[in-house]
Amino acid sequence: MTNTLQAECSASKQKSAASAPLIFRIFAEFVSSVFALFTVYMFSSVVTAMYGVNVLLIAAGTGLAYAAAISISAKVSGGHVNPAVTIASMLTGRTSYISGILYIVAQVIGAIVAAALTVFILPQTKMVPAKTWFAPVVNGFESASISANQLKSVNASFGVIAALIVEVIAVLIIVATAMTYTREDGSAKCTYAAHMGIAYSVGTFITYQITGTGLNPARSTGIAIFAQSKKLAVAPLSQLWVFWIAPIFAAALVGFVMLISKLVSTPSIHEASSINNSNNAGDSSLNDSLQNNSALNAESENSESKEDKEINPFYNEDK
């Protein structure tokens, strides 16, 4: 069983190393973003509206949605599905800047399409207003937090600082996981999708009660556009900046740490020169030793020949 899995992973590595055409990679990011975010929007909205807030269920659903979507595009584009992952991949040289920018555009458009489908499907009546469906899905803080009603009774709220901190920490986990399970050429490792699903679930546990779980700037943008006119407690677009700044900062931080780590682990020019000089000196000493041994052997043979000639008058030099 283990050998079979290793063979499949090896085959996957060979296949993913071949870069697909850019248009295919962009389309893969778009499709996987639509799939992941439509699932997240619907799941968060319907489950919360009908069964109340259940963080465990939301975290499991979010992780599975991302894992499934990432597995679709992992072999084609690397399975980013998140501008934060794409930015970190660009900063570390795993994705070109042109490809990365186009990936981000595809991810945001995918989020908008997913949000449009969600708005189209969810029913709205006088008894079930839009607020019922969209309040649990939109990302926000203070009055827009998923916990605002519970905290209002004790005159407390999760402010912008709390929102920034939890989003940065959660996205750090996600981006670090993405960089760990992708190769230097940007291709995904065999278990990439599964580990990313776990990372998104952990991120959901950290952020859901405070911000409604952003983790992905595209995810926050798509639903905010359509919920802007739904008369929520806070206009979603007014708080959207937090859900771009936090992921970008987290992605930049991961990229910076990886670059510094790479510089530290790579020998400097002086160290490399010293190593080469040491190797050259060792080779020179070895050559000198071999030459000295050859000279000694030659002298020994000449000495033996002279002795044989002196002792044996019939000594033949040509033997």
pLDDT: which is higher, 185 or 272: 185
> Would you say 92 and 255 are in contact if contact means Cβ atoms under 8 Å apart?
yes
Closest CA to 76 of 137, 133, 11, 32: 32
Question: What average pLDDT does this structure show over 252-276?
Answer: 77
Rounded distance between C-alpha atoms, residue 239 and residue 29, angstroms: 26
Closest CA to 147 of 56, 209, 212, 235: 209
Question: What average pLDDT does this structure show over 184-193?
Answer: 93
Rounded distance between C-alpha atoms, residue 21 and residue 136, angstroms: 38
Residue 14's pLDDT band, with cuts at 50, 70 and 90, is: very low
Q: What average pLDDT is seen over the chain?
A: 85
Please report the pLDDT score of residue 300 as a whole number.
56
Residue 107 has pLDDT above 80, yes or no: yes
The single-letter code of the amino acid at 181 is Y
- Total residues found in the chain within this entry: 319
The single-letter code of the amino acid at 287 is N
Tokens read off for 105 = 């555009």
Rounded distance between C-alpha atoms, residue 82 and residue 22, angstroms: 17
Residue 81 has pLDDT above 60, yes or no: yes
The position carrying tokens 């389309």 is 27
Record the pTM. 0.81
Please report the pLDDT score of residue 10 as a whole number.
54
